Amino acid sequence: MKEQLTIAVSGLNNTDNPGPGIPVIRALRDWKGKDIRIIGISYDHLEPGLYMHDLVDKSYSVPYPSEGSDNLLLRLEYIHQQEKLDFIFPNFDAELFTFMKLAPKLEQMGIKTFLPTVDQFEERQKYRLSEFGEKYGLHVPLSVTVGSVSEVTAAMNQFDFPVVVKGKFYEAFIAYNIEQVYSYFNKLQSKWGLPIIFQQFVYGNEYNVTALGDGKGTTIGAVPMRKLFITDKGKAWAGITLDEPRLLEMTHKLIAANKWRGGMELELIKDKDGKLFIVEINPRFPAWVYLPVAAGQNMPAAAVQMAFGEDVKPFTTYDVGKMFVRYSFDNIVNLSDFQNISTTGEL
Amino acid sequence: MLSWVLITSLSEGLKKCNMNVRIKSNVAVSDSGFVFDPSTGDSYSVNPIGVEIIQLLKEKSSTDDVLKSILERYETDEKTIDKDLFEFIQLLLNLQLAEKV
């Protein structure tokens, strides 16, 4: 692998609902012995990462995945002509499917990715979680997918309140009665479309694991974390790494079973009896991925190494009790920067 | 009924219950009284006597030995220490920082 790499990264929305882009970039910047040029990929002109010039060397606007993969590919071809990309790190759930489909074309262009297969991506979807748990022998809460409002009452007969009402890609609400279920159903449907997922609420403590699979069944890295402070959007504002072997065992079991390729985040609940339930599997690194890096496992760098065919040995240790605490910061921005990204799509 | 059992139990104290416990091996406690449970991420603050008891529970195999060590160092009666120590150990068990052996 070259010592100088040009890597495009999306998810620069380092807001109160942060994307993983900036933490992934910090991880790549920490990669010793590598000279990394970072190209930001942006969907919105006010994504904070666009203006973090100490982390992002150059940025380009790209069309939303909903505008079609051909438009995205055309834009990526242009960016590649300018920058000679070596690797692309897509970080949004909503764009991953498109990038997985484009991966063979990108490979032909000389751009590598390290993503799950479409089958792996699809089977861990929120609306297929029950099936997924059954297939791999993992505990998951009862989940039912609802494709229309007429199915809500029948579906709800299978649950006890409270019930978690989840959007297809993002957002979840806890409903304590049927009126709230209908209200959240309509809210999520108008924002993210159908289907909506109902999931049995599990009382207990939430835990998260950032992990990296090599695509052959080996877990290259895994670090568990407990959120210490949660925002009103349900995002971790502070967290701490844990020494909880059962969380790691479950991660290894899952990756060994479905041969996950790439980064992932597991969201788990431990109930009062100590039983662990997987409540969600996110198909990319989370926004707290820099915590595992600081704890000793640079998983984003390892993902790039594997994409280039390097033999990466699994991480075996990490620092327990390592914490992160987020902060907000008013980055002062010149109008010319905003003007450039708004008018030329480049910054 | 439950509260009656609890009160009876508390009034019995450590010695009558013949209870031996140990602090979980991965629980960390600093000299300043910061206690960290790395399996849950929970942390607590304890006062100097709390630190002393936790350190003793890490070293001693029997709570009776812990009781004797405290008695040797502090000028108070055995009954009071027995009761207070029992309550503190119950708290450690409830928080899953300690386990019965």
Residue A101 touches chain B, beta carbons under 8 Å: no
In percent, how much of chain B has pLDDT > 70?
Answer: 81
Q: How many CB atoms lie within 10 A of CB A117?
A: 16
Q: Which of A228, A239, A244 is the closest to B39 by Cβ? A: A244
- Identify the domain containing residue B89 by its residue range: 2-100
Please report, as a single letter, which amino acid is at residue A229.
F
Residues in chain B: 101
Name the pLDDT band for B61 (thresholds 50, 70, 90).
low
Residues of B in contact with A320 (CB under 8 A): 38
One of 1.10.1050.10, 3.20.20.10, 3.40.50.20, 3.40.50.2000 is the CATH number of A4-114+330-343, namely 3.40.50.20
What gap in Å lies between CA A310 and CA A221, rounded to an integer?
15
pLDDT at position A171, please? 83
Find the farthest-apart pair of alpha carbons in chain B and give their distance in angstroms, rounded. Answer: 40
Does B10 have pLDDT greater than 80? Answer: no
Residue A242 touches chain B, beta carbons under 8 Å: yes
Q: Which of B26, B28, B41 is the closest to A226 by Cβ? A: B41
Please report, as a single letter, which amino acid is at residue A295.
A
Total domains present in chain B: 1
Q: Which of A205, A239, A243 is the closest to B38 by Cβ? A: A243
Name the pLDDT band for B17 (thresholds 50, 70, 90).
low
pLDDT at position B1, please? 38
Does B5 have pLDDT greater than 70? Answer: no
Does A315 have pLDDT greater than 70? Answer: yes
Identity of the highest mean pLDDT range in A109-118, A122-131, B18-27, B51-60: A109-118
Burial bucket for residue A302 (CB in 10 Å: 0-12, 13-18, 19+): buried
Does B4 have pLDDT greater than 50? Answer: no
Does B78 have pLDDT greater than 90? Answer: no
- What HEC string does A256-292 produce? HHHCCEEEEEEEEEECCCCCEEEEEEECCCCCCCHHH
Does B15 have pLDDT greater than 70? Answer: no
Does A4 have pLDDT greater than 60? Answer: yes
pLDDT in tens, A246-276: 999 999 999 999 999 999 999 999 988 888 9
Residue burial A250-270, b: 16+ Cβ < 10 Å; e: rest: bbbebbeebbbbbbbbbebbb
Decide: A207 and A248 in contact? Cβ < 8 Å: no
**CATH number of domain containing B32:** 1.10.10
pLDDT at position A310, please? 95
Does B18 have pLDDT greater than 70? Answer: no
Query: Is A242–B28 a contact, with Cβ atoms under 8 angstroms apart?
Result: no
The complex's ipTM? Answer: 0.77
Which tokens go with A123? 């089977």
Strand partners, A282: A265
Residues of A in contact with B26 (CB under 8 A): 243
Does A283 have pLDDT greater than 80? Answer: yes
Chain A residue closest to B35 (CA)? A321
Q: Give me chain A's average pLDDT, please.
A: 93
Which tokens go with B89? 């150990």
Q: Which CATH superfamily includes the segment(s) A142-200? A: ATP-grasp fold, A domain (3.30.1490.20)
pLDDT at position B93, please? 92
Calculate mean pLDDT across residues A29-33: 94
Does B9 have pLDDT greater than 60? Answer: no
Q: Phi-psi bin for A320: left (phi > 0), alpha (psi -120 to 50), beta?
A: beta
Decide: A44 and A51 in contact? Cβ < 8 Å: no
Name the residue ranges covered by the structural domains of chain A. Answer: 4-114+330-343, 142-200
pLDDT in tens, A99-145: 999 999 999 999 999 999 999 998 888 878 888 888 888 889 988 88
Calculate mean pLDDT across residues A288-299: 98
Residue A226 touches chain B, beta carbons under 8 Å: yes
Interface of B with A (CB under 8 A): 26, 28, 36, 38-41
Interface mutation vs chain B, best among A230, A243, A319, most B CBs within 10 Å: A243
Chain B residue closest to A224 (CA)? B39
Interface mutation vs chain A, best among B29, B40, B44, most A CBs within 10 Å: B40
Query: Is B40–A321 a contact, with Cβ atoms under 8 angstroms apart?
Result: no
The three-class DSSP label of residue B84 is helix
Give how far Cα B74 sits from Cα of A235, B36, B90, Å.
48, 27, 21
Query: Is B39–A321 a contact, with Cβ atoms under 8 angstroms apart?
Result: no
Calculate mean pLDDT across residues A17-33: 95
pLDDT in tens, A173-227: 999 999 999 999 999 998 888 889 999 999 998 999 999 999 999 999 999 999 9
Across chain A, the runs of DSSP E, i.e. the strands, are 4-9, 35-42, 58-61, 87-89, 143-146, 163-166, 172-175, 196-200, 205-214, 219-230, 236-241, 261-270, 276-282, 323-325
